[in-house]
């Protein structure tokens, strides 16, 4: 087992939106590195299938799955508390999100705009809120601090830092996610809580495939990949390869590294 894998042995990590896309690839990667996982998603069948796969492949680790609507703070808080009851939480990965293709702002429905904000912005905030409260409580109660401290990785997007056509609501939600994370990173740094945002380019997740298949010219494969230097889609596995795990282990002072 590699040094990176040893760094996550015994770590309990929560992943929202963990049944598909970058969340699923992250779950597989972190499990291979030794972590135990509390996964949530709205897709119950995909989540249960993933849990079974992980439990079979890594029988010495603990994996749970919960169906959670991230727009409900009550459900999110209950999931975080359930995970904490199984063992001190060391990290959180927020990968739950939606992208609904739409026309220009004045042509889209108010309901679809609000839904995007509720899932991408509020859902991430709810998980951050609950996890941060848990980390602070663990610290106050003398729970052993994980090597390098606690860590949160929020999955943003190229739309967190750039304007994309036909994506006003999506861009607003992802910009908000980045701004929240930057402020929180400064607010909690002295308590050894690290907060980072991964902002992938166009990544061929189930979500992205749905946009490509929507028939809207702005989301065609040709137009979408033309905005990328390598002129191709990234893969969830590439994002989960180092982009997510690295912030979860950075700060570890490993004498063998």
Q: Are 254 and 3 in contact (CB under 8 A)?
A: yes
Q: CA 103 from chain center: how many Å?
A: 27
Our CA angle for 88, 27, 202, nearest 5°, is 130
Q: Residue 12: exposed, middle, or buried by beta-carbon count in 10 A (0-12, 13-18, 19+)?
A: buried
- How far apart are alpha carbons 37 and 54 in whole angstroms? 9
Backbone angles phi, psi at 216, to 5 degrees: -75, 130
Alpha-carbon Rg for the chain in angstroms: 18
Q: Which residues are catalytically annotated?
A: 170
């Amino acid at each position: 087992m590699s040094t990176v894998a040893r760094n996550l042995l015994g770590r309990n990590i929560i992943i929202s939106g963990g049944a598909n896309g970058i969340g699923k690839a992250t779950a597989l990667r972190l499990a291979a590195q030794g972590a135990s996982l509390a996964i949530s998603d709205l897709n119950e069948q995909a989540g249960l299938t993933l849990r079974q796969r992980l439990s079979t492949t890594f029988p010495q680790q603990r994996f749970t799955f919960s169906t959670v609507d991230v727009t409900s703070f009550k459900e999110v808080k209950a999931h975080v508390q359930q995970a904490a009851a199984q063992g001190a939480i060391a990290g959180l990965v927020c990968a739950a999100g939606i992208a609904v293709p739409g026309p220009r702002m004045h042509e889209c429905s108010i309901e679809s705009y609000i839904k995007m904000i509720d899932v991408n912005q509020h859902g991430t905030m709810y998980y951050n809120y609950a996890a941060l409260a848990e980390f602070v409580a663990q610290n106050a109660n003398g729970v052993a601090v994980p090597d390098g401290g606690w860590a949160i990785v929020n999955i943003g997007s190229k739309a967190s830092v750039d304007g994309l056509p036909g994506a006003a609501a999506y861009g607003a939600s992802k910009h908000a996610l980045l701004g929240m994370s930057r402020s929180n990173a400064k607010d909690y740094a002295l308590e050894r809580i690290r907060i980072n945002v991964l902002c992938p380019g166009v990544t061929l997740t189930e979500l992205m495939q749905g946009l490509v298949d929507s028939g809207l010219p702005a989301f065609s494969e040709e137009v979408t990949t033309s905005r990328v230097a390598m002129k191709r889609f990234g893969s969830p596995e590439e994002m989960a390869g180092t982009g997510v795990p690295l912030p979860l282990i950075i700060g570890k002072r490993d004498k063998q590294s």
